Amino acid sequence: MVKTFQCASRCQYPMVVSSSTLKSIMKYCLWISALFVAAVLLRPIANGSSVLSPHPVALQDQLHDLEERIATLERKARATGVKSYMKVKFLSIKDRKRILVTGGAGFVGSHLVDALMLQGHEVTVADNFFTGRKSNVEHWVGHQNFEMINHDVVDPLRIEVDQIYHLASPASPPHYMYNPIKTIKTNTQGTLNLLGLAKRVRARFLMASTSEVYGDPEVHPQVESYWGNVNPIGPRACYDEGKRVAETMCYAYQKQDGVEVRVARIFNTYGPRMHMKDGRVVSNFIMQALTGKPLTIYGEGKQTRSFQYVSDLVDGLIRLMNGNYSQPVNLGNPQERTIYAFAQEIQQLAGGSNPPPIVKKPAATDDPRRRKPDISLAKRVLGWEPKVTFEKGVQQTINYFRRELKRQRADSTV
């Protein structure tokens, strides 16, 4: 892990140093602070006597010695702690785009940022870190093509960009139900603000919509022309209806003001950087299996889902943004699984030699019974379809959660 540290010489650019080096520097800084206070107390008072020590010269020597040690550590940090980045493609000014990714520190957003950075574009992340994490993008901090802004899209943002990927919104039921009013504001006022920005700077705008616009579908598999079956006052409505009205806004701006819009209807996605307490079925099952807890199913487990790996989704989003098709497009994996069958697979892959049991709880309100995308349109207009197999993607996700759990345990023992 790396951290930014401002050296004593106040150089223009902060150094990036290892945690161990930073701890050493901070330790000596604390010693100097303590000794400085002691030096003040040890100054001769009005009658010429010292309060505590007859040896202020020795104290000054100690301060000088510690200052020398800090200077040595700073030189070491500059020599060996220079941050390295993944190799980024060079693009000329006419090919290099200025791209804004809202929610760019989140699960999907951070993978999208990686792909755009590697392509050589200038990327600005705007995130309020409600569900996003700085650690997801910290490997780009300091790069000349990268900028991160702590910003809530409910407030207007003034920035010059060529493309806007609007991914800002909590996406898992526990997160978007935690503050439903905030969820509605993010998907309505936030989208309105960013469409206004796109209009002003003439940027192309991609809206990360969701398969939840189909609700509990009566058409299977779901095609883009299906209008959906959504409960407008149910517990999931803050997210479902928020995304539906966001789509409406996109096409209103397209029709009235000529804004170039793209709409991706994203189906269940999984992969590394999912939040361990995300609340969705993939992270729930993996975390429960790795920690030896029963895998929890709501209802009988006969409801179905289709899972796509995050790298496939990112590829689809970039193709959609840079393509010429402006109507909604499904992005998902059409391989359909029952929740119970999925639980069994995770049980075997992550449960170890003594896999935990599967337990059933009462069904969740408005939980869709079936969910499977028809991706014929994406194949035709984008040349896109998922490439990562379920087995490979799930194993990589399990490995990521194992590393996160190991790191969490190590941090708790420090």
Positions marked active-site: 239
Under 8 Å between Cβ of 385 and 379: yes
CA distance 338 to 228: 21
Any alpha helices (H) in 82-137, and if so which ranges? 107-118
Tokens matching residue 337: 């699984």
The identity of residue 325, as a single letter, is Y
Instruction: Describe the chain by its helix, strand, coil percentages, rounded to 5.
Output: 45, 15, 40
* CA distances in angstroms from 240 to 124, 235, 245, 362, listed in the order given: 27, 10, 9, 22
Q: What is the DSSP string of 126-184?
A: EE--SS--GGGTGGGTT-TTEEEEE--TTS------SEEEE--S--SHHHHHHSHHHHH
CA distance 124 to 180: 27
**Helix, strand or coil, per DSSP, at residue 222:** strand
**Helix, strand or coil, per DSSP, at residue 10:** coil
